[in-house]
């Protein structure tokens, strides 16, 4: 779908979209359209339940007196309450409704003054609406060969009419680069495990070199030399060899080129059977997205490089496949991590923390970063705690946690902080090694997993995002079609932009 910006005008073809506030208060554009068609919009609104609330839509098809295919009215909610997130949601709602109607092209008449969004700055309101439309238009249907016409998206062109068209185009450019990072993550997480596995996912990361990202890929020999026994142990049962990928974006301005980087680390278990501690068969197909943390880090690096973020960033992803076989890791095995700490493997299905242990240690040891944020679909326990609305946040640093929370709120990717108190640390003490990879019993499973990771960060400010409940959605949202969500890409991009770019 192509998005463009122009001066506001009723188009000569396609659909036209205008807004209505709560209590059926027409925006100036809606009122003008109503006047042109002899009050038909007012009659349509009066005769139904449409009242202008958020997410409501009402279509008048083939209106007499105008050359358009339909007029789509969209609810704007209460006058004066429109913000960035609502504009994005509005864009998503518009695209969804137009695709459902089978429209090919449409023009949105955006009344910035009526919306009360002047504080965003020239063009930014239109750019935010465009971002929402772009995010909602995403589809992953490359393997579907027998779709009915009504199942396919039809909208090819969306024009946003605004008094600040040139400024809107400029404001949309970096947002569009972020959308590309989101789409890359959604694509990677959506792919089946016979297509995306450690070697191919590493090559996907290598493609970021085209944007100026420096990419290193470590094979088994290199990781064994580094002493990454925890990560290698997870992958030893698979025919697919593991990989560690290091991505560097050097975007800091002159005079700060040697500044310590921001660091993001992702769990990349490209398929998780649970290993010898095998999972139940029901729902196991969903474990193709157990690499979502790595997918987010790769997509984030694309977003930051694409918009030329003015900061140094390193992204590290540990990539393995966790399979049962004659060579697989067994419950009771003891492995030695890169840190030198030994780990008793009680449950081979608690494998992501083993991958992250070596990736975190390598990151802090080599790069001495300002902070580390890791992302992982780490525990089912976080879904029990928070469901699918919030990701779990664990941190050893209050400022870092507060900034992540604020960035998540700003983009609608919400996180909730849970404790990492010392009392939980004893839960992972082992009688046979320095630690074990699961806690005692089922209580506080997400917290004990975080405490395990904390043993590999030293004194570096660190945060862990458990995205098991938010990486995949079984229902549509305004800007997120069902499927892979890419939760974390926009959160972390906003986090970087708000706090670490001058």
- Tens-digit pLDDT profile for residues 384-411: 999 999 999 999 999 999 999 999 999 9
Q: Active site residue: 279, 370, 414, 417, which one?
A: 279
- At residue 257 the predicted structure's pLDDT band, cuts being 50, 70 and 90, is confident
Distance in angstroms (rounded) separating the CA atoms of residues 481 and 135: 8
pLDDT above 90 for 79: no
Q: What is the pTM of this model?
A: 0.97
- At residue 84 the predicted structure's pLDDT band, cuts being 50, 70 and 90, is very high
Q: Please choose, from the candidates 198, 204, 187, 191, the residue with its C-alpha nearest in 3D space to the C-alpha of residue 244.
A: 198
Give the mean model confidence (pLDDT) for residues 8-37.
97
Q: What is the pLDDT of residue 293?
A: 98
**Cβ count near 257 (within 10 Å):** 10
Element holding 419 (H helix, E strand): none
**Residue 452 structure tokens:** 């395990």
- 358 DSSP assignment: H
Distance in angstroms (rounded) separating the CA atoms of residues 125 and 88: 9
Q: What is the pLDDT of residue 328?
A: 98
Greater model confidence, 440 or 120: 440
Buried b (16+ CB within 10 A) or exposed e, 37-46: beebbbebbe
pLDDT tens for residues 259-298? 999 999 999 999 999 999 999 999 999 999 999 999 999 9
Distance in angstroms (rounded) separating the CA atoms of residues 191 and 407: 28
pLDDT tens for residues 290-326? 999 999 999 999 999 999 999 999 999 999 999 999 9
Distance in angstroms (rounded) separating the CA atoms of residues 349 and 276: 8
Give percent of the chain above pLDDT 70: 100
Q: Active site residue: 70, 288, 353, 403, which one?
A: 353
Q: Following DSSP, what letter does each residue of 101-167 receive, concatenated? A: HT-SEEEEE--HHHHT-GGG-TTHHHHHHHHHHHHHT----TT-----GGGS----EEEEE-TTHHH
Q: Please choose, from the candidates 166, 144, 162, 164, the residue with its C-alpha nearest in 3D space to the C-alpha of residue 153.
A: 144
pLDDT above 90 for 347: yes
**Cβ count near 365 (within 10 Å):** 14
Q: What is the pLDDT of residue 241?
A: 98
Which residues are registered as beta bridge partners of 354? none
pLDDT above 90 for 99: yes
The upper half-sphere exposure of residue 25, i.e. CA atoms within 13 Å in the direction of its Cβ, equals 12
Give the mean model confidence (pLDDT) for residues 164-185.
97
Number of H helices, E strands in the chain: 15, 20
**Residue 439 structure tokens:** 């806690």
pLDDT tens for residues 458-473? 999 999 999 999 999 9
Edge-to-edge order in the sheet of strand 312-322: 214-218, 243-250, 312-322, 262-272, 371-376, 462-466, 391-395, 415-417
Distance in angstroms (rounded) separating the CA atoms of residues 120 and 117: 6
Residue 168 near residue 160, CB atoms below 8 Å: yes
Which residues are registered as beta bridge partners of 18? 73
Q: What is the pLDDT of residue 81?
A: 80
Element holding 352 (H helix, E strand): helix 352-367
Q: Following DSSP, what letter does each residue of 202-240 receive, concatenated? A: HHHHHGGGGGT-EEEEE-HHHHHHHT-HHHHHHHTTSSS
Which residues are registered as beta bridge partners of 246? 216, 316
pLDDT above 90 for 197: yes
pLDDT above 90 for 116: no
Class of residue 449 by CB neighbours under 10 A (exposed 0-12, middle 13-18, buried 19+): buried
Q: What is the pLDDT of residue 484?
A: 98
- At residue 122 the predicted structure's pLDDT band, cuts being 50, 70 and 90, is confident
Main-chain phi, psi angles of 109, to 5 degrees: -95, 105
pLDDT above 80 for 118: no
Q: Please choose, from the candidates 310, 327, 326, 382, the residue with its C-alpha nearest in 3D space to the C-alpha of residue 353.
A: 382
Residue 11 near residue 63, CB atoms below 8 Å: no
| Annotated catalytic residue 475 | no
CA 227 to chain centre: 32
CA 136 to chain centre: 13
- At residue 185 the predicted structure's pLDDT band, cuts being 50, 70 and 90, is very high
- Between the alpha carbon of residue 313 and those of residues 214, 254, 482, 491, 502, the distances in Å are 11, 15, 30, 15, 14
pLDDT above 80 for 119: no
- 475 DSSP assignment: S
Q: Please choose, from the candidates 306, 311, 312, the residue with its C-alpha nearest in 3D space to the C-alpha of residue 176.
A: 306
| Annotated catalytic residue 368 | no
Residue-averaged pLDDT of the chain: 96
pLDDT tens for residues 23-51? 999 999 999 999 999 999 999 999 899 99
pLDDT tens for residues 134-166? 999 999 999 999 888 888 899 999 999 999 999
């Amino acid at each position: 779908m192509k998005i463009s910006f122009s001066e506001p005008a009723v188009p000569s073809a396609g659909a036209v979209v205008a807004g209505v506030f709560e209590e059926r208060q027409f925006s100036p554009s809606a009122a003008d359209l109503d006047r042109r068609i002899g009050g038909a919009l007012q009659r349509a609104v009066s005769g139904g339940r449409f009242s202008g609330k958020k997410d409501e839509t009402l279509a008048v098809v083939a209106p007499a007196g105008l050359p358009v295919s339909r007029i789509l009215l969209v609810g704007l909610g209460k006058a004066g309450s429109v913000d960035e997130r609502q504009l994005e949601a509005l864009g998503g709602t518009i695209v969804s409704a137009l695709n459902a109607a089978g429209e090919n092209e449409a023009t949105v008449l955006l009344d910035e003054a009526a919306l009360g969004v002047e504080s965003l700055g020239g063009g930014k309101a239109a750019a935010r609406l465009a971002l929402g439309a772009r995010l909602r238009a995403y589809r992953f249907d490359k393997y579907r060969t027998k779709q009915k016409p009504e199942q396919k998206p039809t909208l090819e062109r969306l024009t946003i009419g605004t008094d600040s068209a040139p400024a809107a185009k400029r404001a949309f450019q970096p947002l569009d680069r972020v959308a590309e990072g989101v789409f890359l993550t959604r694509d990677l997480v959506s792919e089946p495990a016979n297509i995306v596995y450690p070697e191919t996912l590493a090559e996907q990361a290598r493609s970021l070199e085209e944007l100026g990202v420096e990419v290193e890929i470590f094979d088994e020999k290199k990781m064994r030399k580094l002493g990454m026994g925890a990560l290698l142990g997870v992958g030893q049962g698979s025919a697919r060899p593991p990989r560690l990928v290091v991505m560097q974006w050097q975007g800091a301005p002159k005079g700060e080129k040697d500044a310590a980087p921001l660091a993001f680390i992702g769990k990349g278990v490209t398929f998780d059977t649970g290993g010898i501690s095998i999972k139940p068969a029901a729902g196991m197909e969903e474990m193709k997205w157990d690499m979502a943390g790595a997918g987010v880090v790769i997509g984030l690096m694309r977003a930051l490089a694409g918009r030329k973020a003015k900061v140094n960033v390193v992204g590290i992803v540990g990539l393995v496949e966790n399979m049962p076989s004659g060579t697989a890791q067994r419950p009771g095995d003891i492995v030695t991590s890169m840190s030198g700490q030994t780990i008793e493997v009680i449950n081979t299905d608690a494998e992501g923390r083993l991958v992250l242990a070596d990736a975190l240690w390598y990151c802090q040891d080599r790069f001495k970063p300002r902070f580390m944020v890791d992302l992982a679909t780490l525990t089912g326990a976080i879904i029990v705690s928070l469901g699918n609305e919030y990701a779990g946040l664990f941190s050893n640093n209050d400022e870092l946690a507060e900034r992540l929370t604020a960035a998540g709120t700003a983009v609608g990717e919400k996180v909730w902080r849970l404790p990492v108190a010392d009392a939980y640390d004893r839960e992972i003490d082992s009688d046979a090694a320095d630690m074990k990879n699961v806690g005692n019993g089922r209580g506080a499973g997400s917290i004990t997993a975080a405490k395990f990771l904390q043993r590999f960060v030293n004194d570096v400010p660190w945060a862990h995002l458990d995205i098991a409940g938010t990486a995949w959605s079984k229902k549509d949202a305004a800007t997120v079609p069902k499927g892979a969500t890419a939760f974390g890409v926009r959160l972390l991009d906003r986090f970087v932009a708000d706090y670490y770019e001058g």
